[in-house]
Amino acid sequence: MDRFFELSRINFSYHGTIPALADVSLNVRKGEMLAVIGQNGSGKSTLLQIMCALLTPSSGKIRFRGKDITDRALRDRDFNRYFRSRVGFIFQNSDVQLFCPTVLDELMFGPLQTDIPPDRAMERCREAMEMLGIERLADRPVHMLSGGEKKKVAIGSVLTMNPEVLLLDEPTGGLDLGTESFLTDLMLSLHEAGKTIVIATHDLELIGHLEPRI
């Protein structure tokens, strides 16, 4: 299978003094579901944020589809757009991810930043809202949503970009059982549709349902 991500001897320390990752190497293959498990504070979120280039490793190399992911590479507008449109990251805390006035604005933001025509962007938004069952929330201010609704909107804002890879940090953390079950089924459906999925979690029940490579 094609390798989407190749991480080689990744190290990272916060402020140069607080170690988070030490000599981590892994590959993520196209179309697979991979789970990174561990206790709180073990570096799972840091690893995913390095994979989506929100953080730069202190040392080591990371490649996506054979291309080195470096600060210099990401300063190239075309490459940055290429990478950002293919890798979607969903934060553990949805409040970190949502910043637009309404739900529809959130879903439209990503596509419009990558020069997708407005009519096509709106079509993607409608498809995402229907998939997530949030059509009624289109004009709702994001600060007036429940925790489960915010999570769905955060996921929708990524799905409208139609990425090849989804990185999800503790996707079911703090959710009610109904929303947790919905998102578990959604991840399985997206994987069956060909998406490559990487999740960071300490939820072993979720692992049991998804049956990913660990």
Cα four-point dihedral sign 32, 33, 37, 41: positive
Whether the pLDDT of residue 1 is over 60: the answer is no
28 pairs with which residues across the strands? 5
pLDDT confidence of residue 194: 94
pLDDT confidence of residue 61: 96
| Mean pLDDT across 92-115 | 92
Q: Give the pLDDT band of residue 17 (cuts 50, 70, 90).
A: confident
By residue count, the chain amounts to 214
Report the distance separating Cα 35 and Cα 57, nearest Å: 20
- The pTM (predicted TM-score) of the whole model is 0.93
Q: Give the pLDDT band of residue 158 (cuts 50, 70, 90).
A: very high
Angle at 206 between CA 204 and CA 209, to 5 degrees: 115
Between 49 and 113, the more confident residue is 49
Summarize pLDDT for 115-139 with one digit per residue, the tens: 889 999 999 999 999 999 999 999 9
Least confident of 65-69, 171-175, 192-196, 210-214: 171-175
Report the distance separating Cα 176 and Cα 59, nearest Å: 39
Count CB neighbours of 50 within 10 A: 23
